[in-house]
Amino acid sequence: MINSELALPYTLIVCEKRDAARRVAQAIATSDFKIITLGRKLGMPSVFSITDRNNQRFIVCYAMGHLYGLIDVKGKRSIYPVFDVRWTPVKGNARGRQIIETISTLSQKAARFVHACDYDLEGEVIGYNILQYACNNKYENSLRAKFSTMTDEEIRSSFDNLLKPNTRMAEAGKSRHVIDFIYGVNFSRALTQSFKVSNNDKRYRNLSIGRVQGPTLAFVVDREMEIKRHIPESYWTIQAEFEKNGQIIQASYYKSKIRTLSEATSIVNACTNQYGKIMKIEKQKVIHKPPAPFNLGDLQKEAYRVFRFSPSYTLSLAQRLYIAALISYPRTSSQKLPMSLNYRKIISSISQLGYPYSNIAATLLARGRLFPNEGFKIDPAHPAIYPTGEKPKRKLDSSDFRLLDLIIKRFLATFGDPATSLHTTVAIHVKGEHIFTAEGNKMLYDGWIQIYKPYFKIVNVELPELFENDILKNLAVTIDERVTQPPPRFNQASLLEKMEKEKVGTKATRSEVINILFKREYVSYTTSATPANTNGGKRGIEATQVGIQIIQSMRKYVPTIVSTDLTRNMEGQLEEIELGKSKSTVVIESAVDQLKGAMLTFKEKEVEIGKQITDAILSSQNQQQTSFGTCPKCNKGILKMIRSATTKKRFIGCSNYSTGKCKATAPLPQKGSIKASGKLCTQCSWPIAKAFYVRQTKRQWEFCVNIQCPSKKPR
């Protein structure tokens, strides 16, 4: 950096990431915007030097997320339990150390310090650690910038109204990290060590479990056990077609499940070719209230429903839109839009974005007053997610645009009128004793649904004009055999919803916890939501044998780690720290006391636990090498690697192949090792296999096993 830059008095602003720092610098600067580098050392990070409208000098620096992390003071990975921890620069992060060095140098001549990281627990901890460790204990003397959008106007306003540092939020955030670290490091070391000991140190596998990871995995395992315990039972349904004036009326027998075939057959025989008589018509107007604005969890679930975006991907997109000043801060629990936001101004800005927003906005702005429909959830730090109305400064890619469109339309829909539909239920009697029901639905007024298109709709089911005592011609009565279904498997959205409901994890960390379960191979995708139903091709989350065994072992020996009560109570205590009702030391000491007893039990059963996990891992590996998931042709059998009895060549075939029920097959390479990757082809939904040579592990590749896959056709 040029010495003159350091010679002038300046305020050092600490932001969370480079993109955020640039936005802050651009918003505050009125002149003299410079990108500068401290010294000439290769690779040193640049910072932003600016002057504001009051001729004040600022240097804006940035982290890259967490620059500091917790470590075990003793540093021996094979030892547990450990409770002595400290903060230190993240190990192995060379870039992070360069950033710390730059910030430390800048802090030495800074006149003031402003903490401008995200205004939440994680952001507070990131800024706290930088100001304490890199800037030599400057957190208490710093000022806090709080903003919910990255618009120039709100950033400038936050710097005109700087706050005192939020020490209680910092304490709560640090306490969460300490508690999660000691639970995670101790149980993860215990699991990994038990595996090594049971294998006489001949095998190693990185295993982990934690305060949030444990209960989340337990949700998936418990659901899997329900599915495995389910015994399908046959039942029968009866449908009928009636006619009036050439219009068909579809009706169902009033008993939704008939337990025996003989009873169902008796009903069909009695009703066939018999006229129906309308005995009762009920009509009910149904009011559909506008939706609440998005908080992060609602946005992740809705984006999964309409786009199939994973929760973590949705969060990354939302963060990009936030940094681009297009939406408000996404990591919020709130479903509230306070009046201080100036709804009319935001909607006016949205109207400038063009069709279709301009038409919707014009209709809303024509109203005298604007009142959004809100939910019940609140967040003291940020309002619900809302669009700023700013025009994108760059062309958005497809995913960014789709998520922004969803957020804009959801925001506008909250100001819409309630929608109204007319629901009609018709009771049709056959021979006086058999009752069929037909249902119709008609939209009377679209209201907010018109605004939220195409993301929500209510399907119209037309019925002809009917009156009581009308006689209907019976066209057909049919019987359908079905079987009871187990509960559906979780998908990423429903698992996230379960975590929210049980108060496991935080809005910012839940999606990452789900990703860790996949990374550790505790869970995997399956092609069907339930074993007997592909659910329209929607993928479910299935617990692996390893995941199941870990939960079973933990429940037997250390049930604390998979207890939702533990996590829920801990979240409550952390909230009390933030509210000033409890002290960090008390909460951490309580957590340590609970952990000590569990660790002693684990140590006593270390070999037994390790053997159980080893058996599950070996069994899982053997199964993985031969099983490739549900057959995409029949949706019932399992694709397995088979070796021909005559040619001795290996191929993939459906488990129903030998019975003649399914002829799905696919060739395989005849050399090298083959195993399933756990992935599905994006073009044909057949499994992706991995091929490699044992002595050339670097030479491996993945391929779709389907010989007819569109990706294999020449272009």
Query: What pairing do the DSSP bridges indicate for beta strands 112-115 and 11-15?
Result: parallel
Query: Residue 121 is inside which H or E element, if any?
Result: helix 121-129
The phi, psi pair for 140, rounded to 5°, reads: -60, -30
What does the alpha-carbon distance between residue 383 and residue 144 come to, in Å, rounded to a whole number? 18
One-letter amino acid of 103? I
Residue 329 designated active-site: yes
CB 542 within 8 A of CB 530: no
Count CB atoms within 10 A of the CB of residue 420: 15
**Separation of first and last alpha carbons in the chain:** 54
Query: Comparing C-alpha atoms, which of 699, 694, 700 is closest to residue 677?
Result: 700
**DSSP SS3 for 322:** helix
Which residue is catalytic, options 133, 235, 322, 329? Answer: 329
Which tokens in the block code for residue 566?
């533990």
Among the residues of 467-507, which ranges form H helices? 492-501
Query: Which one, of 628, 713, 633, 634, lies nearest residue 679 by Cα?
Result: 628
Contact between 242 and 476 under an 8 Å Cβ cutoff? The reply is no
197, two tokens: 């000991």
Spatial distance between the Cα atoms of 144 and 165, rounded to a whole number of angstroms: 5
Amino acid at 408: I
Q: Please give the biggest Cα pair distance in the chain.
A: 99
DSSP conformation letters of 515-583: HHHHHTTSEEEES-SBTTB-GGG--EEEE-HHHHHHHHHHHHH-GGGG-HHHHHHHHHHHHHHHTTSS-
Give the Cβ contact number of residue 527 at 10 Å. Answer: 21
Angle (CA) 480 484 487, round 5°? 140
The Cα–Cα gap between 134 and 678 comes to 44
Token pair 């919803």: residue? 497
Please state the three-class secondary structure of 280-337 as a single string.
Answer: EEEEEEEEECCCCCCCHHHHHHHHHHHHCCCHHHHHHHHHHHHHCCCECCCCCCCCCC
Give 483's strand partners: 234
DSSP SS3 for 332 = coil
351 three-class SS: helix
Q: What is the DSSP string of 456-471?
A: -----B------TT-E
Q: What does the alpha-carbon distance between residue 409 and residue 403 come to, in Å, rounded to a whole number?
A: 10
Question: Are 191 and 78 contacting, i.e. CB atoms less than 8 angstroms apart?
Answer: no
> Where in the sequence numbering do the catalytic residues fall?
329
